[in-house]
Amino acid sequence: MLSLLKKLTASTPAQPAAPAVEEVDTFQLGLRDAMLSGWFNHDTGELYTGFPIGPEDTLVDVGCGDGGNMQFCGMRGARIIVADIDAAKIEAARQRLGETSARSVEYHVTDGNPLPIADGTATRVVSTEVLEHVDDPAQFLAELVRIGQPGALYLLSVPHPSSEEVQKGIALPAYFEKPNHIRIISEEQFKAMVSEAGLEIVSHSQYGFYRSLWMLLFWEAKVDLSSPDHPLLNQWTKTWEAVLNSPRGTQIKHALDAVMAKSQVIIARKP
């Protein structure tokens, strides 16, 4: 997804810069916000709340990107299988996962139709921010179900419509065109897709107000995603840092996540 955004914004001229603000580590703040949302819990071994990973697991990530989520899982000692349509992303994942204590790592460059993975391989299946891109979500989900063992847990996410609808008219038009987001998936549609694929929904949650507003400002700043240095973005990051540092910062974050979330997440189980 990040590589696609880079292509969208690479030729867009930057707006005149406003006065600089104090530099903030955007990556670290984003990671902190994600962890407050339930991601990367080192104490419990959960990649996301309700989705534990252990050394006995075989985990498949379809649409893995550069392997950021799987780095956490590799550190838990799991067997990892990653798949993505972008060969460059797979190479980045190879380098990242090579530094973990994963039992083994297997790599596939594929569009997922079909997945080159045997039936009943995985105890854990991850696919985040992919269904909004694919031509046939039902076919894609059927492949995910096929590769899971009975009892396997699934961690699936798509953009939340509250954020996607706000971006209409602000994001570049290509953001809502193939190969980017070709559909906006409502909460009810997401649950129906997962249930109709034959999975039992365990939980359905949402998070990411910080990132939603960051994306709106990103389009306005007209900078390259690989170097998103702009006063608008820096000021928002600094403001969000102050919010999280306030006495009720986490409470405020969760209240805003419920209003305009970047993503919705379903954890499901294969019967």
Global pTM exceeds 0.95: no
Residue 180 in contact with residue 4, Cβ under 8 Å? yes
Query: How do residues 221-246 score in pLDDT, each as one tens digit?
Result: 999 888 889 999 999 999 999 999 99
What average pLDDT does the chain have? 93
Q: 26: domain CATH number? A: 3.40.50.150
* pLDDT of the residue at 226: 82
Q: How confident is the model at residue 82 (pLDDT cuts 50, 70, 90)?
A: very high
What share of the chain has pLDDT > 70, as a percent? 92
Into how many domains does the chain fold? 1
Query: How do residues 144-166 score in pLDDT, each as one tens digit?
Result: 999 999 999 999 999 999 999 99
Q: How confident is the model at residue 14 (pLDDT cuts 50, 70, 90)?
A: low
* pLDDT of the residue at 179: 94
Task: In whole angstroms, give the CA distance from residue 240 to residue 40.
Answer: 20
pLDDT for 218 beyond 60? yes
Query: How do residues 52-68 score in pLDDT, each as one tens digit?
Result: 999 999 999 999 999 99
Residue 129 belongs to domain spanning: 2-269
pLDDT for 70 beyond 60? yes
Query: How do residues 170-189 score in pLDDT, each as one tens digit?
Result: 999 999 999 999 999 999 99
pLDDT for 8 beyond 80? no
Among 177, 196, 179, residue whose Cα is nearest residue 188? 196
Query: How do residues 20-50 score in pLDDT, each as one tens digit?
Result: 555 678 889 999 999 999 999 999 999 999 9
